[in-house]
Structure 1
Amino acid sequence: MGPITPSVSLMNNLVSLPSHELHRYLGARLVSESKVEFCVWSPTVDCVHISLEDREDEEPFALQKQDGGYHVGTMDCVGVGTRYYCSFDGGPRRPDPASRFQPDGVHGPSQVVCRDFSWTDSDWQGVPRHSLVIYELHIGAFTEPGTFRAAAARLDELIDLGITAIELMPVADCAGRWNWGYDGVCLFAPNRNYGTTDDLKFLVNTAHAKGLAVILDVVYNHLGPEGNYLAEAGPYLSRRHSTVWGSAPNFDDPKYGLELRRFFIANAINWLDEYHFDGLRVDAVHCMKDDSEFHVITELSQVVRSWSILAKRSPLLIAETNVFDPEMLRPISHGGTEFDAQWCDDFLHSVFAIVRPGEHLCHRRYEAGADLDQTLRWGYVHEGTFREERGRVQPGASAEVSGLVYSIQHHDFIGNHPLGKRLHQLTSVETQRAASALLLLLPSIPMLFMGEEFCCENPFQFFVDFGDAGLRTAVVEGRKREYPQHDWSTGVLPTDAAAFHDSKIGSVLNGDREMRAWYRDLLAHRKRWIGSGILQQRHLMVDSCVETGLFVLCYRTDLSCVTVAVRLSVLGDRDDICDFTAYGKLIMDSCPEQTLTLQLLPNHAKIFVQEFE
């Protein structure tokens, strides 16, 4: 191995480099077949050393410190597959803060990878927001092998269903053999349990070839509690802010905050640029602690927009706000954040309040019937921003529901139940059919959770595999504290291997085929009505009767009328029949064995179409 020489391309210019380009230089970058350029941001460290795993007898080599706290240098006689460590001011060997792959886990060496890939998606244009039907999945639990390539082999099943986008739960590497993904510490490195960097690119490339968009869940509000060595590398973590899940990034540090923000934003751009993801779902944006005047989430949006213009791409930014944030979709020029969509769980919990009154799977409270009526009419029940109090409101105007992501179950909804039970297990198959008709035929963005479409009987439980015994105990106790309303005396502990293995969804062939056919037909009608233009908020009128649990959506244009009549109820609470008004031909009935036409049983849905001459 030859001596390290300063990189001319990086000398003294990283601070002035546009934020949308920084990701290309961070970490280990292959310059030639046998030459690698390293770049580590460690502003409070005097010297960063690189040591190679297979050359432990050699002296570590020092990178050169530049403006802004970047340490850079080029090594000869190293290349793809080389495993290396960083050490900071003579401290222990640690992974590269911008490591691109961790073959032995988050405590082990980083690995040099080739960032190039034989992409075949140059003609891919993505999926427009109005055509999105999102399918949330966990790579490890979506298939029996639990890998990126195994997931790619299952995509045809989703296309046949009518899905247009998959959303991957976080894949940034974290401690252990399995994890939901929200404990990531190596933010640039795909989880080695799922495969290699090329395997992830293969999944995205395959999805694009089949017409599927791929969205990635990213976490920037905290770092995981195990394997988080960033504090040794520099001022990455905040001393002012914290979260219940782990250390908070140092976004608003008066001295180092600007470059720290660029590091995290570079990570977001890297997923979009190097891996060709079609969008990012940003986890818990309201928990991204930042007292700066210009919030980091707004800066992220701004940089992504700048990158998208140069890349000639239109990536989607989706915020997990849980409640409606009136600023989230507003342009930055008008004081907003300029995201494309936001999660709004008011729909999910308003439905649940009717079918399981008194049972709460979140910290907010919902009123049975009245809150679903308000959500259908106005789009939401609770409102707040990441700077203002979040609470129940009476809307003065309807939200732009085409930018709201609705679901009837997702990873938190299921996983926060002590037994990881799904909606049909907590209620009934009939209830899920009725609720799904509302979900899939609203002008909002529908999202399914893996296995929902065939009533998967396997739970989706919370699972972690931390090596630290104290952390394992803290996770178990923390779950009890965070959701004290539940009985935690039964069920599998999240630290038990069974919590992960039992959560694999299994084969669609073992599921409810009638439910899957119901979902497929609903999505086929949704696609048809999106195309014709009738399934839009401006064509929608809502009628409801809270007392009987009746909710009717009526879309009307000069050419046609679509009526979606749904009745929701507590299981076994009533068996009466409810009348409603609709016109045209009955095209779908969730209880087809009944001879009723303009009447609904509890947990029953019907859809009518009338064409005008």
Structure 2
Amino acid sequence: MTAPTFGPQITRDGTRFRLWAPAAKRVDLLLDQPHPMVRDDKGWYSAEIADARAGARYKFRIDDELDVPDPASAFQPDDVFGPCEVIDHIAYPWRATDWRGRPWHEAVILEAHVGTFTPQGTYRAVIDKLDHLVAAGITALELMPLADFAGKRNWGYDGVLWYAPDSAYGRPEDLKALIDEAHLRGLMVMLDVVYNHFGPEGNYLGRYAPNFFTDAHTPWGSAIDYRVPEVRSFAIENALSWLRDYRFDGLRLDAVNTIIEVGEPPFLNALSTAVGKLAAETGRHINMVLENSDNRASLLDAAEDPPRGKYRGQWNDDYHHVWHVMLTGEDQGYYADYQQSASNDLVRAMSSGYVYQGEVSTFWGGKRRGEASGALSPTCFINFLQNHDQIGNRPLGDRLESIADPKAIEAALAVMLLAPMTPMLFMGEEWGSTAPFPFFCDFKGGLADAVRKGRREEYAWAYARYGDAVPDPLAEETARSAILDWDDLKHAPSRKRLALVRDLLAIRRREITPRLAGARFGEAHVSGGLLTAHWTMGDGRKLGLTANLSADETADVPSSEGTLIWGPALSGRMPAWAVRWHIG
């Protein structure tokens, strides 16, 4: 593996510091005293300091006027504005030394936010909940972004120092301990990363390396220019650092449709290829997935192992939106695109992955959205009923449990958790948590005011309807409201829901997962509220579904062929919200 070009490199005699600052006329390394750095003809400044070791703290001074952190800082003990700390990643004493990951078809994902997953809100505290995840049937813990952000509270999508796990949750060795303990229990750990923008506070790249950005803008800030070799290397080396230094089992790339200047070869292809080389060299399963509103099926291949330019799967927003419309009747925003026939849209998602495979989307400005996806493996589609976006981008941050019939939710879970697509739950969903997950951050001054103003403009109807009930995203109590209440598990409804999820995932582990490699989409149909579907599994057997997705009993249910693996053993009439799975 080629040595990284960004970030401090510990050598036999000390540490070598580097900074790419093509727009700077002078750069000094600030340790115990300033050290002038030497510039080369490509804008790299460097200095080798004898006796500078792990634990040393440093910053860079630009043109005698601005002190900045290293954009590739490995740790910021005092947040984004403080000094960087040199970290010796090789020194960590890993215990799960034989861990090589798990193949993608075994993935059952739970998405979690470290700061609100436990009352302590730390990496170490998550360790105490790993046994709960394993017992529930989860095989992959996906953490929301950890890259250092300004302040103590954030969803993580405002990260500005991509290589530094945020100190609000603990130190790098704490994060490594979490991943190590997960591996000892057979759990994969994945990380959400953001390569489409930098956060709005604590990012100084525009001052000394404006080449990082184009004149274009994403919804969250200036677009990154991946035509520039150094910029591309910065992102790819960051991905490799998370996978190599922390031993994450995979990455989820946020909103890749907003990466504007992709370069040649396209950035996503180059990133996947680099990760594939790491996987081949280490013999590990490394699973790379995307969030992509463009529904580009051509980016996906669940079977490409190691990756050679493709991605295992994509968060399937279409699947969520269809179910949300069916469960709640809501029609605002992007839900308007699924109003004509949600049940037929569900049929398409069940039989070929995406709903939008080239059709015109009103919400997306009347443009055609998506590519044909039926030839892909079903495991390419990461299906969910809730995630951080779909809860947190609601004005009140309320979960499905607060707005939908519990029996309907249980039917939707019985469909999602046994279908051959890759299922994902949001933290606490496995027991039906009602804890909200509102948007929150910890900015100051004018930026805080701008965030408040932006939320009020985006959700003007909600402020008109709910007034002060809409949580202030800057208030500490807003973040506190999102903390999971693990005492819920003492109560009968939560225990009942958790038992349902455990039972479903035990059946998935026994009957579905061993047959997923090589599985193919089949057909699906709906008549009234009755949904039927089947898939051809990797061993040639047929997995079949019959589900009454309505509040009324249905008549004339066709008899199921094969062995019943879930649901009521009956023929003829089918109760409301009943779900049956069989293998023939």
TM (normalized to structure 2)?
Answer: 0.89
Q: Quick one: distance in 2 between partners of 1:439 and 1:452?
A: 13
Matches within 5 A, 1:454-469: 454-467=431-444, 469=445
- The answer as to whether partners of 2:272 and 2:288 remain within 8 angstroms in 1 is yes
Q: Give 2:174's aligned residue.
A: 199
SS where residue 11 of structure 2 aligns? strand
Aligned counterpart for 1:431 among listed residues 408, 418, 429: 408
- The answer as to whether partners of 2:547 and 2:578 remain within 8 angstroms in 1 is yes
- The answer as to whether partners of 1:437 and 1:522 remain within 8 angstroms in 2 is yes
Matches within 5 A, 1:483-498: 486=462, 489=467, 490-498=469-477
- The answer as to whether partners of 1:480 and 1:488 remain within 8 angstroms in 2 is no
SS where residue 168 of structure 2 aligns? helix
Q: CA deviation at 1:242?
A: 1.2
Per-residue Cα deviation, 1:368-407 (whole angstroms, up to 9, x for no partner): 212111111221112479xx99635795844432211111
Identity of matched residues, %:
36
1:549 aligns with 2:529: yes
Which segments of 5 or more consecutive residues in structure 2 lack a partner in the other structure?
360-364
Q: Give 1:448's aligned residue.
A: 425
1:410 aligns with 2:387: yes
Per-residue Cα deviation, 1:591-610 (whole angstroms, up to 9, x for no partner): x8xx97643344x1332546
Aligned residues: 564
Q: Give 2:362's aligned residue.
A: none
- The answer as to whether partners of 1:235 and 1:250 remain within 8 angstroms in 2 is no
Q: Quick one: distance in 1 between partners of 2:104 and 2:158?
A: 29
User: Is 168-177 or 529-538 further displaced after alignment?
Assistant: 529-538
Q: CA deviation at 1:89?
A: 1.9
Matches within 5 A, 1:445-594: 445-467=422-444, 469-482=445-458, 486=462, 489=467, 490-507=469-486, 509-510=489-490, 512-533=494-515, 537-538=519-520, 540-545=522-527, 548-554=528-534, 563-569=544-550, 575-583=552-560, 588-589=566-567
- The answer as to whether partners of 1:435 and 1:566 remain within 8 angstroms in 2 is no
Q: Quick one: distance in 2 between partners of 1:329 and 1:396?
A: 9
Q: Quick one: distance in 1 between partners of 2:63 and 2:254?
A: 34
Q: CA deviation at 1:158?
A: 0.4
Cα gap change, 1:556 to 1:280, in 2 (>3 Å): closer
SS where residue 319 of structure 2 aligns? helix
Q: Give 1:303's aligned residue.
A: 274
Q: CA deviation at 1:192?
A: 0.2
Cα gap change, 1:485 to 1:325, in 2 (>3 Å): farther
1:231 aligns with 2:206: yes
Q: Give 1:328's aligned residue.
A: 299
User: Is 341-350 or 167-176 further displaced after alignment?
Assistant: 341-350
Cα gap change, 1:582 to 1:22, in 2 (>3 Å): farther
1:143 aligns with 2:118: yes
User: Is 185-194 or 295-304 further displaced after alignment?
Assistant: 295-304
SS where residue 459 of structure 1 aligns? coil
Q: Give 1:356's aligned residue.
A: 328
Give the structure with the larger helix fraction: 2
SS where residue 68 of structure 1 aligns? coil
Q: Quick one: distance in 2 between partners of 1:102 and 1:393?
A: 40
Q: Give 2:29's aligned residue.
A: 50
AA of the residue aligned to 1:137: A
AA of the residue aligned to 2:22: P
Aligned counterpart for 2:18 among listed residues 39, 63, 84: 39
- The answer as to whether partners of 1:101 and 1:197 remain within 8 angstroms in 2 is yes
Q: Give 1:110's aligned residue.
A: 84
Q: CA deviation at 1:505?
A: 1.2
Q: Quick one: distance in 1 between partners of 2:461 and 2:281?
A: 49
Q: Quick one: distance in 1 between partners of 2:136 and 2:373?
A: 37
AA of the residue aligned to 1:549: G
Structure 1 vs Structure 2 CA RMSD: 2.8
Per-residue Cα deviation, 1:391-440 (whole angstroms, up to 9, x for no partner): 35795844432211111110000001111111121102111101111111
Q: CA deviation at 1:537?
A: 4.2
- The answer as to whether partners of 2:105 and 2:513 remain within 8 angstroms in 1 is no
TM (normalized to structure 1)?
Answer: 0.85
Q: Quick one: distance in 2 between partners of 1:536 and 1:436?
A: 24
Q: Quick one: distance in 1 between partners of 2:330 and 2:405?
A: 17
Q: Quick one: distance in 1 between partners of 2:558 and 2:76?
A: 60
SS where residue 240 of structure 1 aligns? strand
Q: CA deviation at 1:46?
A: 3.0
Q: Quick one: distance in 1 between partners of 2:278 and 2:570?
A: 56
SS where residue 418 of structure 1 aligns? coil
